[in-house]
Chains A and B, each alone.
Chain A
Amino acid sequence: MIIKKLCKVVGDQYVSESTGERYIYSQDMTENEPCQPIAIVMPESVEEIQAILKIANETKTRIVPFITGQNVGGLTIPQVEESIIIDLKRMDKILQVDEEAMYALVEPGVTFGHMRRYLDAHHPELRYTYPLAPPYTSVVANALLQGLCDLSTRHGAMADFVNGLEAVLPTGELVRVGSGILGEDNWFGRYPLPDLVGLFSGWQGMSGIVTKMALQLFPKPPHIEHAALFTFGEEPTTEILKRIARKQILDDADCMSLSLVKMLLGVDYPVEALDGEPDYATLIAVSGNTEREVLEKLSVVEDEMERAKSKEPRQLLVTWDAISKLMGEQARSWIDFPSDAFKILTEFDGLTWVGTYIHPKAWGKALAGGRKIVERYEFELMAFLKPMNGMHFAEFKFIIRFPKDIENIERVKRCNSELLDFALDNGAIPYKTPVWAAKKLQERIDPQFIALLRRIKRSLDPNNIMNPGRWNL
């Protein structure tokens, strides 16, 4: 009955109950348990979404939003039977770019690749930011999930770039938050207002469906330079990172196990750490309005590396010229966003991580402790640590690529569980949190926070139709 109603809203060709579709949308690349939806519906307009949610409310049908499913957290897998997935990829318009206030107003189906293409063609002096993810990841989803990007060391998580949004509430009403409440062409910021972006940011699709989002753009600097640090030891590496990040001169700093660079260079799976090689490679990006500004920033980095060398002479800063000669075409892959660097993560059909945001005091300990766990489970070393928002915190994770067979899934589950316990012990908060991780988190956090979440959820979604079970709520 509900399928007929949905067909009436979006047209028969945009509702599918097919076996193949239900199978594909029931899972993602992670180890999280699959759960088949009963159907997938693909609206094209705000009005269609409103109509769908009204029908869902009347029939108490569970709804799970989906755009590209690249969250690496199982976040589009239904948590209850008989759910319907709303695939938003047809809503893929960049509605407005404001050159002066530097923001883009986009629909949820817009991906990083499309944003890059559009800005390069129409607004070449502006740029957005890009994650270590396939280019066909939703810009809106990544902002809502508070992900990171290649300007996070300077500007923070992607949720910090949201100027405002429009959303359909679970009960079907259309609401706006941010300065766009005063009318069109006015999406310059979130303040000074009650900051209701927080009703949607980090909620994993439990509080409504975002139909438009205004996101900050950034001037494309005329001069950008990269360099790489090759370093030994967890504590020395993170000490160097902290010292450099505190100078507030970096656009980005990606500290990763050397294995990831070896993968870019084409070393076959499984990539092993060899005695005597650096433990970590950190890609740094600096930019400026003049070449001189960039060189000055790099000289600050050089000074810090000289200081580090006095303690450990093997710590090394390598210029991009040298990296390019060493790596050839693959050097471009390391810095070419959005797209290229992600390819090293596509070795198998399985990919997962325990991603967290973590206090600076725990960075070294986290890298060292996580490494021991991953080595014990005999996975490749793929640590990743990025200082965020100046130096206030870091994104920290261990990535695992694996063939998605039963044996490996079980091994991954045990390893991730241990990694998360260890991260929580160190005060880290998991991001893009799968349900199993939310459960572990909830065992440790202030219960009043969970009570508040439940209260807000009940208020917005009285019939609990939006992604029920997500975040273990």
Chain B
Amino acid sequence: MTKEPSVISEWLHRCIRCGNCKYIFRDYDKSCPSGQHYRFESYFASGKIWIARGIESKELDFDESLLGPIFSCPTCGSCEIQCQAPHQEHIVDIIEELRAHAVETLGPLPKHKGFLEKIQKHNNPYGEIHHNRELVNIHGLPDKAENVYFVGCTSNYRETSIRDATIHILKTSGMNFTVIDEVCCGSPLLRTGQRAEVKKLVKHNLVKIKEAGAKRIITSCAGCFRTIKKDYQKFEKDFKLEVIHISQLLPSLIESGRLTFKHTKDSPRITYHDPCHLGRHMGVYNEPRNVISVLPVEMVEMSRNRENAWCCGAGGGCRAAFPEFSLATGKVRIAEADEIGAELLVSTCPFCVSQLREVNDTDMKVLDLTELLSSLIR
């Protein structure tokens, strides 16, 4: 077991396995992607908590058969919303600590080990050639600025139109910003129990942000946002920089008139998918909706939204290690959006967007909010 304060020990005798974590509180719709897919008890949050209790109390030893239940969870955090017991706010932490113990004992899952190797070699989990600093020249950004746009690996190496749209928005609105020679924020490692390497990544990024003289970090990725704002202080106690997600910045840019939008003939029917790392993990629900409300679109909500939103299935290392489960989970979300007749499914996380695009077999378009906004800027 780790020498850090153990959240498993702290909440060892709390979960009664009542099942509240499995379904939406007072609504009774499904809420747990992993449990719903695999159906056995160990795949629900309560089952994982009992496995953690079994390991901690030495009634259970780690073996390979435990890895599926422990890792095939997107750590979407819906269980934390639905649970009514005293440990409710700590369930994801319990699962992540359990993962760290599993990695210490049995090593990481092969696909997750790939994240680490690629980050060590290329500074990003995709194994792409590291190029972030080139953006300074491409976009004529200053060396130092009040704001750092932390691009994130998915925007930088996969969903690059989200990166470009974000830069377009920031430049159009006259923001004083730059980008740094960033490396992976560490999220893929933290979510998959590989904690050892993260401190180095945190240190590198914070040094570069300091060198840029920035007072604020802006992210367009919900995962980076959660990691930098919530997890970095576990590694750097003095970390006090302001961290915001682009969706939190947009309302003020619009209100102040720094962003204005074209008039369009059509008002497409649009729905919003709450990324778990922005919504449940960080409590940001209203800002993206407020932005959408000023656009020439017709907003409709899916039946499960805000804190009860169904996860896209990509997070927690699931897309790499458990693709069948992950894609099936994403398809459920696509079906939910399609059911209400949405023409556009908008989110605020490149990883969610990437996943939902991958599984989308309908005519509906999947966009990041920055992409939508960028296309409408006058």
Contact = CB atoms under 8 A, between A and B. Distances in A.
A249 to B, nearest CB: 29
Interface string B20-63: 10110111110000000011111000010011011000011101
Contacts of A135: 19-20, 23, 28
B23 A113 contact: yes
A351 B362 CA distance: 48
A461 B206 CA distance: 69
B17 interface: yes
Contacts of A342: 18
Interface in B46-86: 47, 50-51, 53-54, 59-61, 63, 65-66, 68-70, 84-86
A342 B61 CA distance: 32
Interface in A112-162: 113-114, 116-117, 134-137
Contact of B60 (A19, A25, A68, A137): A19
Contacts of A29: 16-18
B47 A20 contact: yes
A262 to B, nearest CB: 16
Nearest to A403: B13
A23 B59 contact: yes
B14 interface: yes
Contacts of A28: 17
Given A29-B17, A70-B18, A20 B23 contact: no
Interface in B187-205: none
A340 B26 contact: yes
A20 B66 contact: yes
Interface footprint category on B = 35 or more
Interface string A83-99: 00001011000000000
A40 B38 CA distance: 13
A116 to B, nearest CB: 6
A336 B26 CA distance: 9
B292 interface: no
Given A113-B23, A135-B28, A346-B85, A24 B42 contact: yes
A463 interface: no
Contact of B16 (A87, A340, A348): A348
B19 A134 contact: yes
B270 interface: no
A308 B53 CA distance: 50
B54 A350 contact: no
B372 to A, nearest CB: 33
A405 B13 contact: yes
B22 A136 contact: yes
Contacts of B85: 343, 346-347
Contacts of A321: none
B39 A23 contact: no
Contacts of B23: 113, 135-136
- Where chain B touches its partner, the secondary structure class is loop
A375 interface: no
Contact of B19 (A68, A345, A350): A68
B39 A90 contact: yes
Given A18-B42, A136-B20, A349 B13 contact: yes
B27 A19 contact: no
A70 B12 CA distance: 20
B224 interface: no
A116 B42 CA distance: 26
B185 interface: no
B214 interface: no
A404 interface: yes
A18 B26 contact: no
Contacts of A405: 13
A471 B281 CA distance: 46
B165 interface: no
B15 interface: yes
B13 A350 contact: yes
B196 to A, nearest CB: 25
Given A336-B26, A340-B26, A346-B84, A16 B18 contact: no
Given A21-B42, A87-B40, A347 B86 contact: yes
Interface string A13-49: 1101111110111001100000000001010000000
B53 A349 contact: yes
Contacts of A343: 20, 84-85
Contacts of A23: 50-51, 54, 59-60
Contact of A18 (B12, B20, B68): B68
A114 B22 CA distance: 12
Contacts of A18: 40, 42, 65-66, 68-69
A134 B23 CA distance: 11
B366 to A, nearest CB: 29
A189 interface: no
A61 interface: no
A42 B40 contact: yes
Interface string B83-101: 0111000000000000000
B41 A25 contact: yes
Contacts of A13: 38
A472 interface: no
A69 interface: yes
A339 interface: yes
A296 to B, nearest CB: 32
Given A19-B60, A348-B14, A349-B13, A339 B26 contact: yes
B65 A136 contact: no
12 contacts: A18-B68, A20-B47, A20-B51, A20-B66, A23-B54, A29-B17, A89-B39, A117-B28, A135-B19, A340-B84, A347-B85, A348-B13
Given A18-B40, A18-B65, A113-B28, 14 more contacts: A19-B61, A23-B59, A24-B47, A24-B50, A70-B19, A87-B41, A117-B29, A134-B19, A136-B18, A136-B22, A136-B23, A339-B20, A349-B53, A351-B16
Interface of B: 12-20, 22-23, 25-29, 38-42, 47, 50-51, 53-54, 59-61, 63, 65-66, 68-70, 84-86
